[in-house]
């Protein structure tokens, strides 16, 4: 079983009000609870460490979910700093070469099948793996005036999703190296790539999306309501 890290120290309040997006409520629960449940209800996940902002007034103080431990730590200035803080806060039972999952707080629609595939394939890779989805739209490069400068080939282009699965010490070293070089990495794989490593792409479902806009929130509300209806029919 693997431990998971959930960086949740972002202040993303572009939905308005004072509530960071991971605390917006869907079907009676904050998005963060949906995300933690998606991870912890999987038999391959042992527990989670959640990185919170120092002034988080919304954290409900969970210690356990789905019968598994939930630990909290204070995150950092950037997502990478928050992941580093959570790596540090992992319990001693997690060895340096154990694989650890990192998953966005605002990505609640993770399916068990995708997590199973990531764990199985990632643990058999020397470096690790990430969930990803192939780019399906035609890509345009914009000029300064908003006109199209060109069309980019989309073959072999993938969108990086989470979770991402790497070994505890290798990921720590890679994130520290990026930080020390002043390079802002936007996901864990990018830090590993900087070290000359080639993580595996594991194709995941397109609907494992990050809630970024109000439209994403409506989409997640709809998916949850569909799931509830299906559950009631069963």
Contact residues for ligand C5P, defined by CB under 6 A = 7-10, 12, 22, 51, 75-79, 82, 104-106, 210
Closer to ligand C5P by Cβ: residue 104 or 114? 104
Q: Cβ 87 to ligand C5P, closest distance in Å? A: 12
**Smaller CB separation from ligand C5P, 105 or 118:** 105
- Tokens standing for residue 234: 């069963």
Nearer Cβ to ligand C5P, position 15 or 121?
Answer: 15
Q: What is the secondary structure of 45-108 as a DSSP string?
A: EEEEEEEE-TT-S------EETTEEEEEEE--SSHHHHHHHHHHHS-TTS-TTSEEEE--TT--
Least Å from the CB of residue 100 to ligand C5P? 15
SS3 (DSSP) at 131: strand
Q: How far is the CB of 81 from ligand C5P (least distance, A)?
A: 6
Nearer to ligand C5P, 46 or 210 (CB): 210
Report DSSP state, residue 145. Answer: T
Cβ-contact 58, 12 below 8 angstroms:
no
Q: How far apart are CA 53 and CA 8, in angstroms?
A: 7
Taking the complex as a whole, the smallest distance from the CB of residue 148 to ligand C5P amounts, in Å, to 27
Reading the block at residue 225, the tokens are: 């309501």
Q: Which is nearer to ligand C5P, 71 or 125 (CB)?
A: 71
For the bound state, the minimum distance from the C-beta of residue 19 to ligand C5P, rounded and expressed in Å, comes to 13
Minimum CB distance to ligand C5P smaller for 2 or for 35: 35
Q: Whats the size of the chain, residue-wise? A: 234
Tell me if residue 214 falls in helix, strand or coil: helix
Comparing C-alpha atoms, which of 202, 15, 231, 173 is closest to residue 110?
A: 202
How far is 93 from 87, CA to CA, in rounded Å? 12
CB of 83 to ligand C5P, least distance (A): 7
Q: Which of 82, 91, 102, 110 is nearest to 20 (CA)?
A: 82
Question: Residue 161 Cβ, how far from ligand C5P at the closest point, in Å?
Answer: 12
Q: Which lies closer to ligand C5P via its Cβ, residue 162 or residue 170?
A: 162
């Amino acid at each position: 079983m693997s431990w998971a890290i959930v960086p949740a120290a972002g202040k993303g309040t572009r939905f308005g009000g004072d509530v960071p997006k991971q605390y917006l409520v869907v079907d009676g629960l904050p998005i963060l609870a949906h995300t933690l449940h998606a991870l912890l209800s999987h038999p391959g996940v042992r527990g989670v460490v959640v990185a919170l902002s120092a002034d988080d007034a919304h954290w409900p103080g969970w210690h356990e979910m789905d019968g598994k431990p939930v630990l909290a730590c204070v995150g950092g200035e950037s997502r990478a700093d928050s992941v580093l803080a959570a790596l540090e806060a992992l319990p001693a039972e997690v060895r340096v070469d154990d694989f650890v999952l990192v998953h966005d707080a605002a990505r609640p629609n993770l399916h068990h099948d995708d997590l199973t595939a990531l764990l199985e394939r990632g643990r058999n890779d020397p470096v690790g793996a990430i969930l990803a989805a192939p780019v399906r739209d035609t890509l345009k490069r914009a000029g300064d005036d908003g006109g199209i400068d060109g069309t980019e080939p989309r073959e072999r282009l993938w969108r990086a999703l989470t979770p991402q699965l790497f070994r505890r010490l290798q990921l720590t070293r890679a994130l520290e190296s990026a930080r020390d070089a002043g390079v802002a990495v936007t996901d864990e794989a990018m830090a590993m790539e900087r070290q000359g490593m080639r993580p595996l792409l594991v194709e995941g479902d397109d609907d494992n999306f990050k809630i970024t806009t109000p439209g994403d929130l409506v989409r997640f509300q709809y998916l949850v309501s569909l799931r509830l209806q299906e559950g009631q029919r069963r």
